[in-house]
Structure 1
């Protein structure tokens, strides 16, 4: 004879509400930190975030163990909400012309430097932090992986070796990133001309390696 089953305990509604409240509150504080970076620059302080949020530093430290954890949250916001949607969104658009696709992605990156100079400087300033997330490297990897997949698909479609796909993708992404970073300080040409120059270089290189689109 089977034993009666014991009903599962009801979900703890109060715990769920508290978890959601804490998550939402952390998001609000990250909003305030992003605003502080835009206002003060890469060297923002926790005091700047507290002023932006209209709270005390004590409140900040209820949700973040230290400034490094807050920086990680800001980097994640820049990556997931601002940077990657722009770049991967342009790569995902199926344009008939390779040069147009390259130009759109390069233009999106240069536009980010123009539109969000403080956030860009902040993200780049965190490159190579010991033991912490590296937004620049992670973004390069995400974009190069997406571009490499497109190159690999094109090569495979015509029966050509695909081993060079990721090498070429990283080469293009690294070239654009480093040249754009140099330009962000040097400002030797207008943004539109920089996009044209980088597009010509990237397209000229890939154009000799990739089969024509059918």
Structure 2
């Protein structure tokens, strides 16, 4: 293990002469926090959803004291890890597939569902971590936030399709949340049951989602 790092105290020196020094310290704290969050993500991958602060300190090569200099408690650290998973791992994959240009609606749905299932396979510890902290009262909930962001984006696309065909877009969000919820719940069940191969799961969910939406939405490409 690397020697415990020594960080500058978490307040500005009382005689800080310039705003430039304060700005440099603010940037130092931001970068240091980001480094510790990276170490925490790695700790989750190794130790699992019930990681301890000691695991993060070991991953970062620092003491627990340093961790608590940048995070008030473990809950704040968990919030930061959830934010990193969302911003750097989960949403870029899913949103990228959602807005990508595909041959038709079925191909679009298949790509998004496949991206979600591949996340479960590629990052099982991070996936379990997100679900382990779902529903925390007053704290970050990655599962709910992801459902909302993907469903809202899908709802916008459906609404635009309906409006372009001269139909009311009122049902777009209902359908979007229905599809997202169906895929997420089925994939979560599958993550433990593993009753079929991943590729078959993606095909089954795509058939179900496209079978419903294909009868409700105006024809696409």
TM score, norm. by length of structure 1: 0.94
Q: Name the SS of the counterpart of 1:147 in structure 2.
A: helix
Q: Which residue of 2 aligns with 1:54?
A: 61
Deviation by residue 1:20-39 (Cα, 9 ceiling, x = unmatched): 00000000000000000000
Q: Which residue of 2 aligns with 1:155?
A: 162
Q: Which of 108, 112, 118 is the aligned partner of 1:101?
A: 108
Structure 1, unaligned stretches of length 5 or more?
1-9
Give, in angstroms, the shift of residue 11 of structure 1: 5.9
1:29 aligns with 2:36: yes
Question: Partners of 1:153 and 1:173 in 2: how far apart?
Answer: 18
Give, in angstroms, the shift of residue 94 of structure 1: 2.1
1:140 aligns with 2:156: no
Question: Partners of 2:102 and 2:189 in 1: how far apart?
Answer: 29
4+ residue segments displaced more than 4 Å = none
1:198 aligns with 2:166: no
TM score, norm. by length of structure 2: 0.91
Give, in angstroms, the shift of residue 70 of structure 1: 0.1
Give, in angstroms, the shift of residue 95 of structure 1: 1.6
Q: Which residue of 1 aligns with 2:21?
A: 14
Give, in angstroms, the shift of residue 96 of structure 1: 3.0
Q: Which of 44, 51, 74 is the aligned partner of 2:51?
A: 44
Q: Which of 159, 168, 173 is the aligned partner of 2:175?
A: 168
1:208 aligns with 2:218: no
